[in-house]
Structure 1
Amino acid sequence: MSKLIGYARVSTRQQSTDRQQADLLAAGVRRDDLYVDQGVSGARASRPQFDRALDALVEGDTLVITTLDRLGRSTQNMLAFADELRSIGAGLRVLNLGGGDVDTATPMGSMLFTIMAALAQMEHEIKRERITDSIIKRREAGKDLGGRPRRVTDSQIKSAVRLVKGGEPAAQVARDLGMSRATFYRRSRALAD
């Protein structure tokens, strides 16, 4: 009896697979046949739950994903994956392509998969260009790039500098602030400028 094997993935731990999982369950995937990689980049060739999903596939089964980019980022990787599916006699269903099965064993299905894989790679590269361009423009404009907020305030650094000038060892002062000595010196110099 053929089964639907679902796969969902997000690249960071802060992202959620809830929507993907709901879509896969609504498409008929049983919860027991749903594999989820949390915080795993699509650029990695090996992903723990993806590998388990592939191991679960047998002839006649169908792998169900929400979008083609859940499989990977490069056309080359996706085409190798299509060959792997073809070799075990499994199908692929991509929900955002209308939900129809993409039969990678047929010439038409193989062509459609190749075109969609190339488009997914292009979309990823365009997105990366936009992000890089945005960072450059924000940096040139002197705007905040986000990131982790500083735990140690500038006034705490100034007080620590006074302690060091008063004879306290810099290594101990830095350790008390919860930072390395190098970070303490770097932050001190930045405040002195």
Structure 2
Amino acid sequence: MSGGRASRPQLDKAMAALEDGDTLVITTLDRLGRSTQNMLAFAETLRSRGVGLRVLNLGGGDVDTATPMGSMVFTVLAALAQMELEIKRERITDSVAKRRAAGKDLGGRRQTFTDSQIRNALRLIEGGEPATQVARDLGMSRATLYRRIRELPVPTAGVPLSQGASGNCATAPQS
């Protein structure tokens, strides 16, 4: 579970199971919390309960927060983990801003196309445009375009869609 969430049921379960003399093992320090202050408070809670802490990406060594040296090492590492997270956020924000400025795709849910847009694409194909190019211009695969053409509702005049010359798509009657 992410260290960025305030409520972490699995961590709460693990904490409830810990007893004096146990060691809590985590993969990376940033999984424990997102701020130095948060991680130091967590370490103090572990120390007060007599529980050790082991961070695997630090070479598997125990960070004994009960000793002054271990506490200092943990504090420095917690600060570094917070700094790393903040640098990562800056990079992501910068990358999104650059992609947005360049008009590039930001990911997310793909746009949906109206039946009217699909009919216009069909007219282009019937007019001799390659289906692959029409689909690419719309930002979809040729197979998706053909599927959407087949799914077009029957025109309101009650005239059924006829089978196209290629046999791969249905065509609407010409107006």
TM-score (normalised: structure 1): 0.59
Match 2:53 to one of 92, 115, 122: 92
Q: CA deviation at 1:43?
A: 1.6
Q: CA deviation at 1:159?
A: 7.4
Structure with higher RCO (Cα < 8 A, 6+ apart): 1
Match 1:145 to one of 103, 106, 123: 106
Q: Structure 1: where are the runs of 5+ without partners?
A: 1-8, 10-40, 161-193
Match 2:4 to one of 28, 37, 43: 43
Larger Rg: 2
TM-score (normalised: structure 2): 0.65
What is the CA–CA distance in structure 2 between the aligned matches of 1:145 and 1:95, rounded to whole Å? Answer: 34
What is the CA–CA distance in structure 2 between the aligned matches of 1:45 and 1:109, rounded to whole Å? Answer: 26
Amino acid at match of 1:93: R
What is the CA–CA distance in structure 1 between the aligned matches of 2:20 and 2:38, rounded to whole Å? Answer: 21
Summarize the Cα distance change of 1:157–1:145 in structure 2 as closer, same or farther, 3 Å threshold. farther
- Structure 1, residues 52-80: CA drift from partner, whole Å, max 9, x if none? 00111110000001110110111111000
Q: Structure 2: where are the runs of 5+ without partners?
A: 120-175
- Structure 1, residues 123-145: CA drift from partner, whole Å, max 9, x if none? 00000000000000000001110
Q: Secondary structure of the equivalent of 1:43? A: coil
The number of residues matched between the two structures is 120
Which residue pairs with 1:109 in the alignment?
Answer: 70
Percent identity, aligned pairs only? 76
What is the CA–CA distance in structure 2 between the aligned matches of 1:46 and 1:62, rounded to whole Å? Answer: 22
Alignment RMSD (CA, Å): 1.8
